[in-house]
Amino acid sequence: MSLLLHVVSGVRTFLDLQTILVLLVSFLGVLWFVRRGRNYPPGHWKWPILGNIPHIYKDPHLVYTRWAQRYGPVLHVQLGQKDAVVLNGYETVHKAFVGKAEDFSGRPTFIYFVDKISEGGKGVIFAPYGSFWKEQRKFTLMSLRDFGFGKRSIEGKIVEESQALQSEIAKFDGQPFSTHRLLQNAVANVICNIVFGDRWEYDDPLFQRMMDALDYMVSTNVFAVPQNFIPFTRYIPGWEGRLEPWMKKFLSIMGYLREELDKHKASFDPNDLRDFIDAYLLEIQKQKGVEGTRFKEDQLLQIMRDMFFAGAETTATTIRWTLFYMVIYPDVQRKVYEEIDQLLGKTPPSVSHRSQLPYTDAVLAEVQRIATVVPLGIPRATSNDTTLNGYNIPKDWILFVNLWSVHHDPQRWPDPERFDPGRFLDENGKFQKPEGFIPFSTGHRVCLGEQLARVEIFIFVITLLQHFELKLPEGAPVPSRKGTMGVTHAPQPHNIVAIPRD
């Protein structure tokens, strides 16, 4: 009798499992049918609850590029409980961000992490698309131009900083060193000069603590943490703590920015504006008492955050990649140096020299193409229900632009993994910018600091190559060209040697 009961119980358990599986498959089938009926973009198969997160945990830009070849340039991706679209290839990106800019220029402040660090979309980078963003971006750009953007005055500051960097590198006296921290110091100092009106000595303890914090933060891709896309994980004991070290570093830098703001308030003179902070404080003063004004101290602090975080790391990483490629392609480095030496000798460079240095300009562009420092850009969001390439895309879907696919498209860039500055030169040896080259993205949300970054990269690289021949340490293997992914796509750790030129 007990044997019979055991058999019956086993059969019932089996049937229960069968029932659960049938219900699960039926549910997924209905969900697939409903989604298909809504004409959403195609995409890879998805795990229950997690969606595509397990597929894209490592090198998502490469995964999306492969998927685009299979499913098409507009991909639907499920990130936990959040729907996202990945745009691949220049034509699709241009069609969305330029042709339908009003629909594709939002920011996903509904993502947990983005909401947390931006205090609900303050600043400029994470501000939702609309009148607030337009007003703050316009004021920021105008003020930055007043304090140097696009003017020779900023060139002077960058040249001075490049000379300080040159002096630091000379101290190694031909011994191997890493360019990582030195370039961070130099580029961050340019930002500090524009925003705060001052620079730091490279060995200043506070400055180095800030750089340590920045280093930790950019090495971790916090956009990928589960709390962003699977809300219930925020309440699992211990999971919130996984963000704690990152947030601690973030808040330490925000504390420094607050101190700078307080110092500026204490010494503010409306008749003697020193930098961007003073310009914004003056606008706050002008709009005091104006109903609904959006010029406030907390907004200023968040713009300072945007400029420091976005301006320092991406430019420094681009220059690191440039020096990396100069080391592994010494013939390219030699041609760049010869062009610079023939025009300038040891004369400090200026942006006015750019048109006379076409090969150098082509090398800098090819580095930006092949390295693609921010492969997926900063996440955007749809501002309205819209369509693209015949597919329906609802409002508030997350958007990723796969710049890696844009810059590694074999239809536009034959043999895209080959380093070839000639892609940016015409038949007469003059610099040309192909249509599919958008290292600073495109559309309304194009990088706020594009002009500054282009000047920094140009002047820093030329200054260093004027004074040093860059090599690998004797006996060192050639470093891998495969980068590491955090917030940026950076070179793997490596050392170089800088030999002073006569």
Q: In terms of DSSP bridges, do strands 380-381 and 74-79 run parallel, antiparallel, or are they unpaired?
A: unpaired
Note the pTM of the prediction, 2 decimals: 0.90
State the Cα–Cα distance between residues 169 and 165, nearest whole angstrom. Answer: 6
3-state secondary structure of 471: strand
Question: CB–CB of 486/347 below 8 Å?
Answer: no
- At 14 the pLDDT is 47
Residue 121: band (very low, low, confident or very high) from pLDDT cuts 50, 70, 90: confident
Structure confidence by residue, pLDDT tens digits, 341-397: 999 999 999 999 999 999 999 999 999 999 999 999 999 999 999 999 999 999 999
Structure confidence by residue, pLDDT tens digits, 211-249: 999 988 888 777 777 777 887 777 777 766 667 888 899
Q: Look up tokens 């004409």; give the residue.
A: 39
Q: Greater confidence, 57 or 169?
A: 169
Residue 309's φ and ψ, nearest 5 degrees, are: -70, -50
Residue 166's φ and ψ, nearest 5 degrees, are: -55, -45
Q: How far, in Å, are 114, 241, 301, 477 from residue 234 at the CA level? A: 14, 10, 27, 44
- Does residue 178 carry a pLDDT above 80? yes
As beta bridge partners, residue 459 has none
**Residue 105 is encoded by which pair of tokens?**
């220029």
Q: How many residues can be counted in the chain?
A: 502
State the Cα–Cα distance between residues 395 and 381, nearest whole angstrom. Answer: 8
Structural domains of the chain ordered from first start = 38-500 (1.10.630.10)
Instruction: Give the number of other CB atoms < 10 A from CB of residue 355.
Output: 10
Question: CB–CB of 140/442 below 8 Å?
Answer: no
- Does residue 481 carry a pLDDT above 70? yes
3-state secondary structure of 133: helix
Residue 103: band (very low, low, confident or very high) from pLDDT cuts 50, 70, 90: very high
- Does residue 34 carry a pLDDT above 90? no
Q: Is 447 annotated as a binding residue?
A: yes
Question: CB–CB of 73/89 below 8 Å?
Answer: yes
User: Residue 466: enclosing H or E segment and its boundaries?
Assistant: helix 450-467
**Residue 165 is encoded by which pair of tokens?**
């960097």
Residue 21: band (very low, low, confident or very high) from pLDDT cuts 50, 70, 90: very low
By percentage, how much of the chain surpasses pLDDT 90?
Answer: 72
State the Cα–Cα distance between residues 247 and 224, nearest whole angstrom. Answer: 15
Structure confidence by residue, pLDDT tens digits, 280-313: 999 999 998 888 899 999 999 999 999 988 888 9
Q: How far, in Å, are 123, 195, 257, 456 from residue 309 at the CA level? A: 12, 12, 11, 16
- At 152 the pLDDT is 54
